Amino acid sequence: MLFSYFLSLWINYEKTIPTIWTDILLIRQVMKVERKILRFLFLLGIGLLPVIFRKKPAKDWFLVFFFKGYLSSFVDSIVTSKKWLNFPVRFLPKHFQINILFDYLLFPITCVAYNQISQHSKLPGIILKSFYFSIPMTFIEVLLEKYTNLIKYNKGWHWYDTLLTETCTFLLSRTCIGFVRKLDKDNKKQSFL
């Protein structure tokens, strides 16, 4: 009786080892694909940096870039600490819970492009153009959430939360740079007097 018990354990053990090994290999292949996506996005972001800062006034674009990096990392820290959203595969996972590639490179680049496009727009155009950027970004995030392990929505977070957050941060950054331009313009007027 005891022998048959151990024999059944051994038989089941031999059957599960290949399955476990195949699962491990499959997980490693998926993670390799996700790492390749991250590397591609990193290289794309680095390649776009000289392009977005070519347009004048460069100081405004640097200000938008750094403000957006700060703002998005602040929002992401809150969202990840509340466990509404997580990034299972990301750069520097031992040091950051947020997706630093998105928060410090890709999202700020997108925001600079948005600010450049909406620089001379009136309020309805500014709002409409923010959706030109936030809707495709939300769509891509939903696809990444569904088909990869780069981002995972948890209880309390949905695609419309992403859309709203991205749109609001675009508009907030546009408002801040508009305010800075107004202050800069007023300072220039006072210096001529």
The answer to whether the CB of 109 falls within 8 A of the CB of 93 is: no
Closest CA to 45 of 136, 115, 113: 113
Q: Exposure of 33 by Cβ count < 10 A (0-12 exposed, 13-18 middle, 19+ buried)?
A: middle
Please tell me what DSSP assigns to residue 104: I
Instruction: Give how far Cα 115 sits from Cα of 18, 22, 122, Å.
Output: 54, 48, 12
Span 24-43, pLDDT tens digits: 555 556 567 888 999 999 99
Question: Which residue carries 């800069």 as its tokens?
Answer: 184
Reported confidence tier of residue 13, pLDDT bands at 50, 70, 90: low
Q: Which of 88, 82, 73, 112 is nearest to 38 (CA)?
A: 88
pTM higher than 0.85: no
Task: Tell me which residue of 107, 117, 112, 39 sits closest to 75, measured CA to CA.
Answer: 107
Decide: helix, strand or coil at residue 86.
strand
Q: What is the sign, positive or negative, of the torsion defined by CA atoms of 131, 134, 138, 144?
A: positive
Mean pLDDT of the chain: 85
Q: Is the dihedral of CA 153, 159, 165, 169 positive or negative?
A: positive
Q: Tell me the one-letter amino acid at 151.
A: I
7 three-state secondary structure: helix
pLDDT digit string, tens, across residues 71-102: 999 999 999 999 999 988 888 888 888 999 99
Give the residues across from 152 on adjacent strands.
86
Q: Where are the beta strands (DSSP E) in the chain?
A: 85-86, 152-153
Least confident of 28-32, 62-66, 116-120, 169-173: 28-32
